[in-house]
Chain A
Amino acid sequence: MRRTHIISIGTILMINTSFLSANIIFPEIEGWEKSQKTKVFDTESLWEYINGAADYYLNFGFEELEVCEYSVSENKYIKVEVYKHKNPVNAFGIYAYERSPETNYIDIGNEAYLEHSSLNLYTASYYVKIFSHQKDDFTIATIKRLAEEVSKRLEPNPSLPELLTLLPVENKIEKTDIYFPTNYMAYSFLNNVLEAKYKAETKKYKVFIIKNDNEQSSKETIDKYLNAVKQVSEVIPENIIGINDMFNGYIVVSYLGNTIFGISGTEDKEFARKKLTEILAKQ
């Protein structure tokens, strides 16, 4: 079977067959036997490996999964899963979809965390999951080492996807960014959305941004939203519109060019307006 992988290892290489790519992505680790062949799953076969969870991986632009095992005995093994997604934002999206804000973050790739004997990270267009049923120090140390090696091989110089740099930093609660490729707030027309939680003046709120192709798309998206919610909305000075959304609460939105900015998660209308005004002023 002819299979093509595109792997960034400084320069872009085209690698044929999963066996060759396995040698490049998955390092040899002393004391551990690496499986001779990797298992590869595509968009059609992913469900065979992760059952119903395949649906939401596919929603985040999943393209291919390669799985490699390291073992020292039948019962002691580490599994490394490398999920390739359509682009870095999608890889971040699926990573963030599964993480918890309160966990043990470690500095590998773009972002990583280690929970018990399970380590997840994302870098470039890849979401990497490494885990073992064993929780001894030797296994954990190997998991970390594997994460570092695999991450470096996939992308030696990871950088944040551009969309993630657009959210304001001030008042943001760490590790709460979530990417919605589709169906933000349950609306099929709110796509390509980044949201994060914030806290200011003891009040919690959410900020979201929607990146559109152009300014016209921004206008059309807001109009679709207004059509969908039906409730009479209010136009507030400073180019901000307030929307009473039956299921999502009070929302304020505005747009600058191809980007829509919004605040949700607070019923304090004045506060929401003020926060959005501040964000817009800094753009």
Chain B
Amino acid sequence: MASINRRNFLRTSAIGVTGAAITANVKASSANSAFSEKEEKKNIITRKLGNTGIVLPIISFGCGRVDSPALIKAALKIGINHFDTAHGYRKGNSEKLLGEVLKEYPRDSYTIATKVKPQETKEEFLKLLDVSLERLQTSYVDILYLHAVKERDVALQKEMVAALKAAKESGKTRHIGISTHRNEPEIIQAAIESNLYEVVLVATNFKQKDHAQIKEKIESAANKGIGIIGMKVMAGAFIDKDKTKPINCKAALKWVLQNENIHSTIPSMINLEQLQENSELLYDFTLTEEEKSDIEKAKLEAGLFCDGCERCIRNCPKNLNIPDFMRAYMYSYGYNEQLKAKELLLSQNAGENPCSDCTFCNVKCIKGFNVGQKIADVNRLISIPDQFLA
């Protein structure tokens, strides 16, 4: 049996304690120490959540993946006191965990938002809300969202509007909200027109193709006194499908916070290190030049990056390996690596004009790439002599 003896343990312990003492000022190496020393939470940056009367730290806590009470306690200690969950997260275990931890704290020292998906009837919706309140061990939530709405009709559906109003009138929620991460501009517009929704929880990040339109709607909503909370702020954390190209998440979050109409954000945090890193932004979210550059590069790369899903190939009558052509396009237009692009194009053996047999391109790319045009553009490289290419 492999084991440890008292002497080894004493040595281990001594190393641990000594190590902690040495690294007390190195934030990443001593999670607890950083939290115990951070007492200046009164100075954290906050914003008013529209006309709700709630003031939130610019970083709140997205609890979709949290499975440790320690994280909730640590967040409260450093001043993050808004927790976002949903009826469906982990089949209710997210709400249960929050309820267990938060019951130890005064109810007015934190705010909770939960979300319930649209149901067929008002009664069904309210029944689910009651289950959520029971799990959360509270008589009310601060924000109740109609969850994951992607169609205007659903946002304004009579039964759900009645359910949300009833929830507020009965005191089960202080405010009514709507959450959306698809078709965002339409949903925000519906919220503006509804005279019902007080808060919009919306996906926002630098990778969104229609970000300009979303930003414009967010501004309109904020001007009307609607509170705006940003989600999906880390833009998926990776640029590519295989997760080999990480995004600078700190920069991505700072990028979102530059918009003052985003009153708070709910990044998902799953360990003390992430919480600590995000908490630094509660005091300063200025983008450094390096971070700005990281975002610009990631934007460019995300815009050119083919996920390689191969769904396009079946639509191509010539069975071209379209992902390879898209990769060549990225080499050429994204990285300026013309020779590498040409090499990849030649390996396709598709000739100078691979699309010559088609008058119309049937290929539909899930990322919206104009595949035919991109192939035509990049394939010109194969007729250019190597000495003229980078």
Interface residue SS majority, chain B: helix
Beyond A56-B65, A227-B19, whether A235 also contacts B13 by CB under 8 A is yes
Name B329-384 residues within 8 Å CB distance of A.
none
The verdict on B98 contacting chain A, using a C-beta distance below 8 Å, is no
In the assembly, what is the distance between CA of A43 and CA of B242, in Å?
Answer: 9
B64 surroundings in chain A (CB, below 8 A): 52-53, 55-56
Name B17-34 residues within 8 Å CB distance of A.
17, 19-20, 23-24, 29-33
The verdict on B256 contacting chain A, using a C-beta distance below 8 Å, is no
Beyond A44-B241, A183-B271, A245-B32, whether A226 also contacts B90 by CB under 8 A is no
Taking a contact as CB atoms under 8 Å apart, the answer to whether B68 and A51 are in contact is no
Q: Which residue of B lies closest to A115 (CB)?
A: B91
In the assembly, what is the distance between CA of A65 and CA of B35, in Å?
Answer: 40
Taking a contact as CB atoms under 8 Å apart, the answer to whether B32 and A239 are in contact is no
Min C-beta distance of A235 to chain B, whole Å: 5
B6 surroundings in chain A (CB, below 8 A): 235, 237, 239
Taking a contact as CB atoms under 8 Å apart, the answer to whether B93 and A227 are in contact is no
Beyond A56-B65, A183-B271, A239-B5, whether A223 also contacts B90 by CB under 8 A is no
Taking a contact as CB atoms under 8 Å apart, the answer to whether B313 and A186 are in contact is no
Taking a contact as CB atoms under 8 Å apart, the answer to whether B273 and A233 are in contact is no
Among A42, A55, A223, A241, contact of B15 (Cβ-Cβ < 8 Å): A223
Name A250-269 residues within 8 Å CB distance of B.
254-258
Q: Which residue of A lies closest to B19 (CB)?
A: A227
A159 surroundings in chain B (CB, below 8 A): none
Among A51, A99, A233, A254, contact of B4 (Cβ-Cβ < 8 Å): A254
Taking a contact as CB atoms under 8 Å apart, the answer to whether B4 and A255 are in contact is yes
Min C-beta distance of A84 to chain B, whole Å: 17
Among B12, B24, B36, B91, contact of A219 (Cβ-Cβ < 8 Å): B12
Min C-beta distance of A2 to chain B, whole Å: 8
Interface size on B, residues (CB 8 A): 57
The verdict on B303 contacting chain A, using a C-beta distance below 8 Å, is no
> How does the 8 Å CB contact mask read for B119-136 relative to A, with 1 for contact and 0 for none?
000000000000000000
The verdict on B99 contacting chain A, using a C-beta distance below 8 Å, is no
In the assembly, what is the distance between CA of A241 and CA of B4, in Å?
Answer: 11
Taking a contact as CB atoms under 8 Å apart, the answer to whether A257 and B32 are in contact is no
Beyond A44-B307, A241-B9, A247-B69, whether A227 also contacts B2 by CB under 8 A is no
Taking a contact as CB atoms under 8 Å apart, the answer to whether A257 and B2 are in contact is yes
Taking a contact as CB atoms under 8 Å apart, the answer to whether B32 and A231 are in contact is yes
Among B9, B15, B88, B273, contact of A53 (Cβ-Cβ < 8 Å): B88
Taking a contact as CB atoms under 8 Å apart, the answer to whether B241 and A226 are in contact is no
Q: How many A residues touch the partner, as a band?
A: 35 or more
Taking a contact as CB atoms under 8 Å apart, the answer to whether A45 and B309 are in contact is yes
The verdict on A215 contacting chain B, using a C-beta distance below 8 Å, is yes
A1 surroundings in chain B (CB, below 8 A): 310-311, 313-314
Name B30-75 residues within 8 Å CB distance of A.
30-33, 35-36, 64-65, 67-71, 73-74
Taking a contact as CB atoms under 8 Å apart, the answer to whether A246 and B271 are in contact is no
The verdict on A72 contacting chain B, using a C-beta distance below 8 Å, is no
The verdict on A165 contacting chain B, using a C-beta distance below 8 Å, is no
Among A56, A98, A186, contact of B271 (Cβ-Cβ < 8 Å): A186
The verdict on B16 contacting chain A, using a C-beta distance below 8 Å, is yes
B3 surroundings in chain A (CB, below 8 A): 239, 255-257
In the assembly, what is the distance between CA of A245 and CA of B9, in Å?
Answer: 18
Min C-beta distance of A249 to chain B, whole Å: 9
A73 surroundings in chain B (CB, below 8 A): none
Min C-beta distance of A106 to chain B, whole Å: 17
Taking a contact as CB atoms under 8 Å apart, the answer to whether B67 and A256 are in contact is no
A255 surroundings in chain B (CB, below 8 A): 3-4
In the assembly, what is the distance between CA of A232 and CA of B14, in Å?
Answer: 9
Among A53, A97, A178, A283, contact of B1 (Cβ-Cβ < 8 Å): A283
In the assembly, what is the distance between CA of A235 and CA of B9, in Å?
Answer: 7
In the assembly, what is the distance between CA of A99 and CA of B96, in Å?
Answer: 12
A44 surroundings in chain B (CB, below 8 A): 241, 307, 309
Taking a contact as CB atoms under 8 Å apart, the answer to whether A182 and B73 are in contact is no
Known contacts A230-B30, A247-B35; 12 additional CB pairs below 8 A are A44-B241, A100-B93, A186-B31, A186-B70, A226-B17, A227-B16, A228-B272, A235-B10, A247-B74, A247-B272, A248-B68, A248-B70
8 contacts between A and B (CB under 8 A): A56-B64, A183-B271, A188-B272, A227-B19, A233-B16, A247-B73, A257-B2, A283-B1
Closest CB pairs A-B (n = 9)? A226-B16, A247-B70, A257-B2, A186-B68, A98-B91, A186-B70, A230-B20, A183-B271, A188-B271
Chain A residues with a Cβ under 8 A of chain B: 1-2, 42-45, 51-53, 55-56, 59, 97-100, 178, 180, 182-188, 215, 219, 222-223, 225-233, 235, 237, 239, 241, 245-248, 254-258, 283
